[in-house]
Amino acid sequence: MSAERPVDLLMRTVVDAGLCTRCGTCVGACPEGVLSIPDPTGACLPAAGEGCTSCGLCLAACPGAQLAFEPFERELFGDAPSHGLLGVVRSAWIAHASDPGVRRGGASGGVVTALLLDSLRRGETGGAALFAPHEREPWRGWGRIARSGEEIRAAAQSRYHLSPLNTVLGEAASSGTPLAYAGLPCQIHGLRRLERAGWRPRSPLRPVVGVYCGNNLYFAGTAAVMRKLGVRRLADVERIAYREGEWPGSFSVRTRDGRERSVPKLHFNQAIPFYINRRCLFCVDLANELADVSVGDGWMKEGSGGGGWSVALVRSETGERAWRETIASKAVVAEEISVEDAARMHGHAFDLKKRGSFLRLDLWRRFGCAVPRYDRRPPREPFGRRAGEILVSAQFALASSKAGRLIFAALPLGATGRLFASLRAVWMRRSSRGPGGA
Ligand SMILES: Cc1cc2nc3c(=O)[nH]c(=O)nc-3n(C[C@H](O)[C@H](O)[C@H](O)COP(=O)(O)OP(=O)(O)OC[C@H]3O[C@@H](n4cnc5c(N)ncnc54)[C@H](O)[C@@H]3O)c2cc1C
Ligand code: SF4
Ligand code: SF4
Ligand code: SF4
C-alpha cells in the first residue's frame, strides 16, 4: 500500500477534521500552485488540484492542527521571559498615529498603518504583504502586496471575515524588494512554520506586524448584518468598512446608489456566536505572540475622547528597531505602559482565549472531536468556571446551527446590539480586576 501524500494528509487531518484556520499558508507555500481557495466568501477552505510533487511544504507550514510556541519564542526573541497572557514582551505602549487621517482611518489608533508607512518612507521596505479590499469585489478582503503609501492606507481597518491572507506568500517570495507583513495570529503562525520548513523568499518579510485577534467570522456573518440593514445583493455594494468613524467605530456599507447604512461596531459583534469559525473557539493566541510587534485596541483609553488608541507590544529586536524608528520619526505618538496594564485592558478577551479555549479543548477532546495541540499549559480552573464553559460551548453550538441563524435573521439589530454591548461592558469590568478575575 502506498503512503498517504502530504497534501492528502493535510486535507484529512486539518481541513476535513474542522481544524483549518483559513490562514491560506498552504496555498501560498505550494511551489506548484496545486492548492487554491475556490470559495472565499463561503467555506473558504483550501482544495487540491493536479501536479503535486509531494514536497510536503503545505503540511509542514500548516498551523491548523498543532503549534509549539516555545521553540519559535527562543528562536525569534532569545531568552526573554514569556508573560502568561501576552507572550514575550520587551516593552508595551499605548499609541496612535500622528497623522490625523491615518489615525481616523485605522481600526483603533492607526498604528499598524503608521508603522508600515514609516518603514516604506524610510526605504527599509518596498511595501507590505497585507489583507486589503479586493479590487473588483470591494465587499471582501484579499491578500495583496501594497507597494505605495496609498495602497497601504487603503488596507487600513479590520475586516472581520475569514481571511486567507497567506495565499499572497507565493507572490511575496519573488519580491525583489524587502516587504513588511501585517496579519492575524494564525496567519503569522503559518508564516513562522513556513520559514522554519525552509521557505526562502528573495527578501525576508520584516517587520512582521501582528494584529490581536479574538475570533473571526464566516463572510455569511457580514452578509447577514448587511441584509438586516436592507442590503440584499453584494453586487450593489461599493464599499464596506467595519470600523468607520469615531473609535471603536461602526460597521458601515455604502451602496452604488450612494446610500450609507451603519451599525455600531459593538452591535455588529452580535453576529459572532452565529457565524464564528469553529476553529477560533480553540485558538489560544489573542496578542499575536509570534509577531515582531503586536497591535490591538487600546481599551484602557476607551471613553477618553479625541480619537482611537492602539496597544502595541514590542517583542523582537527587529520589532524594537522598527518601533523606535517609527517613534523617532514622529509617525506615532506613544506612551510606555506596564506589561500588566497591557494585559488588564484585554481581561475579557484573555478570559475567552487563555481560559475558555483550554476548557473547550479539553471538553471537545473528551467528546472524541479533533482539536489542535499546543505547548501552552492550561490554567487550573474552579468547578464553576468549568461548568460555565459547558454552557458557553452549548450556546456557540446552538447559535451557529441553521435554526440559530434563522433566529438571528429575525432579531432586531438595534435592541440585540445594545444587549450585546452591555454584556461586553459587564464582562470587561469583571475581567479587568486581574487576568484571573473574570
Ligand atoms: C478578525 C479580527 C479580530 C480582531 N480581534 C481583536 C480583539 O479581540 N481585540 C483587539 O484588541 N483587537 C482585535 N483585532 C485587531 C483590531 O481590530 C485592530 O486591527 C488593531 O487594534 C490594530 O488597529 P490599528 O488602527 O492600529 O490598525 P490599522 O492601521 O487599522 O491597520 C490594520 C491592519 O490590519 C490588517 N487586517 C485587517 N483585517 C485583516 C484580516 N482579516 N486579516 C489580516 N489582516 C487584516 C489590514 O491589512 C491593516 O494593515 C482584530 C482584528 C481582526 C481583523
Ligand atoms: S507540491 Fe508540495 S506544497 Fe504543493 S500540494 Fe504537493 S506537497 Fe503540498
Ligand atoms: S495552512 Fe491554513 S488554510 Fe491551509 S489547511 Fe492549514 S490552516 Fe487551513
Ligand atoms: S481566533 Fe485564532 S484561528 Fe481564529 S482567526 Fe483569530 S488567530 Fe486565526
pLDDT score for 387: 92
Strand, coil or helix: 63: coil
**How high does pLDDT run on average in the chain?**
94
Compute, in angstroms, the gap from residue 291 CA to the centroid of ligand 4: 14
pLDDT score for 216: 98
DSSP secondary structure letter of residue 288: -
Q: How confident is the model at residue 435 (pLDDT cuts 50, 70, 90)?
A: very low
Q: How confident is the model at residue 433 (pLDDT cuts 50, 70, 90)?
A: low
Given ligand 3 and candidates 7, 8, 11, 14, which is best to mutate, with the most ligand atoms within 8 Å of its CB?
A: 14
CB of 110 closer than 6 A to ligand 3?
no
pLDDT per residue as tens digits for the range 59-88? 999 999 999 999 999 999 998 889 999 999
Residue 307 pLDDT greater than 60, yes or no: yes
User: Residues 121-150, buried b or exposed e (16+ Cβ, 10 A)?
Assistant: eeebbbbbbbbbbeeeeebbbbbbbbbeee
Residue 436 pLDDT greater than 50, yes or no: no
Residues with CB under 6 A from ligand 1: 106-113, 130-132, 141, 155-160, 163, 165, 182-184, 211-214, 216, 295-297, 310, 349
Residue 361 pLDDT greater than 90, yes or no: yes
Phi, psi of 380 (to 5 degrees): -80, 130
Percentage of residues of the chain with pLDDT beyond 90: 89
pLDDT score for 437: 31
Helix (H) or strand (E) holding 131: strand 128-133
Residue 411 pLDDT greater than 70, yes or no: yes
> Could you tell me how far CA 325 lies from the centroid of its own chain?
25
Percentage of residues of the chain with pLDDT beyond 70: 98
Residue 421 pLDDT greater than 90, yes or no: no
pLDDT score for 57: 98
pLDDT score for 434: 47
Please identify, by atom number, the ligand 2 atom nearest to the C-alpha of residue 10.
8
> Residue range 325-341: average pLDDT?
98
Q: How far is CA 47 from CA 36, 124, 197, in A?
A: 6, 36, 21
Q: Which amino acid is at 200?
A: R
Strand, coil or helix: 391: helix
Which ranges in 110-232 belong to alpha helices (H)? 111-121, 149-154, 169-173, 185-196, 219-228
Report d(CA 25, CA 401) in Å as an integer.
28
pLDDT score for 181: 98
Please identify, by atom number, the ligand 2 atom nearest to the C-alpha of residue 48.
5
Given ligand 2 and candidates 34, 36, 167, which is best to mutate, with the most ligand atoms within 8 Å of its CB?
A: 34
Compute, in angstroms, the gap from residue 33 CA to the centroid of ligand 2: 8
Residues with CB under 6 A from ligand 4: 21, 184-186, 213, 215-216, 277, 279-280, 283, 285
Residue 203 pLDDT greater than 70, yes or no: yes
> Residue range 371-381: average pLDDT?
94
Q: Lowest mean pLDDT of 198-202, 305-309, 412-416, name the range.
A: 412-416
Given ligand 4 and candidates 279, 282, 288, 350, which is best to mutate, with the most ligand atoms within 8 Å of its CB?
A: 279
Three cell numbers, residue 124 = 527599509
Please identify, by atom number, the ligand 3 atom nearest to the C-alpha of residue 23.
2
pLDDT score for 1: 59
Report d(CA 288, CA 291) in Å as an integer.
6
pLDDT per residue as tens digits for the range 22-67? 999 999 999 999 999 999 999 999 999 999 999 999 999 999 999 9
Please identify, by atom number, the ligand 3 atom nearest to the C-alpha of residue 19.
7
Residue 165 pLDDT greater than 70, yes or no: yes
Of all protein residues, the one whose alpha carbon is nearest to atom 3 of ligand 2 is 30
Q: How confident is the model at residue 280 (pLDDT cuts 50, 70, 90)?
A: very high
Q: How confident is the model at residue 12 (pLDDT cuts 50, 70, 90)?
A: very high
DSSP secondary structure letter of residue 61: H
pLDDT score for 422: 81
pLDDT score for 197: 97
